[in-house]
Amino acid sequence: MSIPFLNNTILTAIRPISLDIILTNYTCLQCICLALQNSSLIAFNYYPNSTCQFFINYPKTYELQSSYNSRLYFVQDIFPNASNPCCISNITFILEKLQKYYEYDIYISVDVPTPRCLLLDDDGSVVVIEQISDTASSFDRFDPETLSFRQQTVLGARPTNIAYFDYKYYIGWDVNNTISVFSNNYDNNSLRFITNIQGTTINMSAVRDMIFLNDGQIMVVASATNQRLFFFSLTNNTNYTMISTISLNYQTPHGLHRVNDSFFYVVSWDNPSLYAYNYNETTSNWTETLFVNATINSTIYGAHMTIDDCNRRWFTMYNYGIKIYDENGINLGNWYLGAGYFDTLLLDNYTVILSNSANSKVIRIDPQLQCDEN
């Protein structure tokens, strides 16, 4: 029996966000056998770390991504339809619905002391880190539908940012300019420490966002105080070694957002702006370009940016809210929220999760939209 597959390729869900079956420590043959025994499993990604990710349904919007030594198997000879990237093109309509639900308090909220960065992990959980002055803060995981706690693990003092890649959490610290790497022990809802990552010839100073390029072979880190981007190379399955830095022409790099392996954005905190970085293969250098200057006044800061399925940039600005731009930097709309909003996570059908470090809340707003509505 021949099973169709794609080499060095994985299928990644964009919308709906995938809550798929993930099994670790399985051989590829074992995963194939499991899939053939269960007709509800239509395809799976197999990763070189002996992990298989099964799909019961294909997402409406997806990407086929290059992933070295991985394979995508179509075990039932059922193939995905063409990806449909844009759910609702009318951003004014989306913002009006979100604003209405926000103003009338039609949302779910949970108390979280000084929440900062938000992400989704492979378990489908919303993850956030707390930053409580100089006392121990926590790593929190929530159900994305109800915001009920799934896990709370006490960390040290002053974690700053968190990233997630290849089933590992990367947590930056203010106190020692280090990134600590953890895996999750789901059996007892605890974090297992793996290693620390530090600069070598130059120290990181005020670690902020992290992104991963080339299937995790390169990690990029924003270092706010000394205005640099640090580049690290993966030296084994768990550790990164610093290979270079870039000095920036602006202050306090804060948020990072990867578009692909040769293009990413950086958010400036003090001067709320977005900068684009393109990799020039001829010179082997990164080219910096100002994408948007969104400065309003001295009390508003640039925090984070994310891109939705219609290729719109959602720029979260601390003490303001969210400004939205197209791929050319043209402002498409604004959503004023007030003080303290730090990060935005977009879920299916423009449900948003927001962290507010001023009032110590994480909120979930579901505007009850469906794709192609309006």
- pLDDT per position as a tens digit, 130-164: 987 777 889 999 999 999 999 999 998 889 999 99
Is 245 found in the same domain as 167?
Answer: yes
CA–CA separation, 42 vs 182, rounded Å? Answer: 32
Confidence of residue 374 (pLDDT cuts 50, 70, 90): very low
Is 55 found in the same domain as 149?
Answer: no
Confidence of residue 215 (pLDDT cuts 50, 70, 90): confident
Task: Please state, rounded to an integer, the average pLDDT across all residues of the chain.
Answer: 92
Instruction: Mark 288-325 as b/e (b = at least 16 C-beta within 10 Å).
Output: beebbebeeeeebbbbbbbbbbbebbbbbbbbbbbbbb
Is 137 found in the same domain as 10?
Answer: no
Is 176 found in the same domain as 303?
Answer: yes
pLDDT reading at 363 higher than 50:
yes
What average pLDDT does the segment 272-291 reach? 95
For position 201, what pLDDT does the model report?
Answer: 81
Is 102 found in the same domain as 170?
Answer: yes
Is 239 found in the same domain as 179?
Answer: yes
What average pLDDT does the segment 44-58 reach? 91
For position 18, what pLDDT does the model report?
Answer: 55
What confidence tens digit (pLDDT) does each residue in 221-266 have?
999 999 999 999 998 877 899 999 999 999 999 999 999 999 999 9
What average pLDDT does the segment 63-68 reach? 85
Confidence of residue 186 (pLDDT cuts 50, 70, 90): confident
Is 251 found in the same domain as 126?
Answer: yes
21 is a domain residue? yes
What confidence tens digit (pLDDT) does each residue in 13-22 have?
876 555 678 8
166 is a domain residue? yes
Q: Is 159 helix (H, G, I), strand (E, B) or coil?
A: strand
Asked which of 73, 101, 130 is the last residue of a domain, the reply is: 73
What average pLDDT does the segment 272-287 reach? 94
Is 100 found in the same domain as 66?
Answer: no
For position 24, what pLDDT does the model report?
Answer: 86
Confidence of residue 84 (pLDDT cuts 50, 70, 90): low
CA–CA separation, 253 vs 312, rounded Å? Answer: 21
79 is a domain residue? no
What average pLDDT does the segment 77-101 reach? 90
268 is a domain residue? yes
Asked which of 73, 106, 125 is the last residue of a domain, the reply is: 73
pLDDT reading at 317 higher than 90:
yes
Per-residue tokens: 127: 């993850």
What share of residues in the chain are helix, strand, coil (percent, to 5)?
Answer: 5, 50, 40
Is 274 found in the same domain as 234?
Answer: yes
15 is a domain residue? yes
CATH code, domain carrying 347: 2.130.10.10
Is 264 found in the same domain as 344?
Answer: yes
Region of poorest pLDDT, from 76-85, 179-188, 209-218, 328-337: 76-85
Is 250 found in the same domain as 185?
Answer: yes
24 is a domain residue? yes
For position 15, what pLDDT does the model report?
Answer: 64
**Domain interval for residue 63:** 5-73
Is 117 found in the same domain as 40?
Answer: no
258 is a domain residue? yes
Q: How many domains does the chain have?
A: 2
215 is a domain residue? yes
What average pLDDT does the segment 291-296 reach? 96
Asked which of 40, 73, 106 is the last residue of a domain, the reply is: 73
pLDDT reading at 85 higher than 80:
no
Contacts of 165 (CB under 8 A, 6+ apart): 212, 216
pLDDT reading at 8 higher than 60:
yes
CA distances in angstroms from 254 to 248, 323, 337, listed in the order given:
12, 17, 20
For position 19, what pLDDT does the model report?
Answer: 60
Q: Which DSSP helix (H) or strand (E) runs through 101?
A: helix 91-103
For position 348, what pLDDT does the model report?
Answer: 85
Query: Who wins on pLDDT, 239 or 44?
Result: 44
CATH code, domain carrying 27: 3.50.4
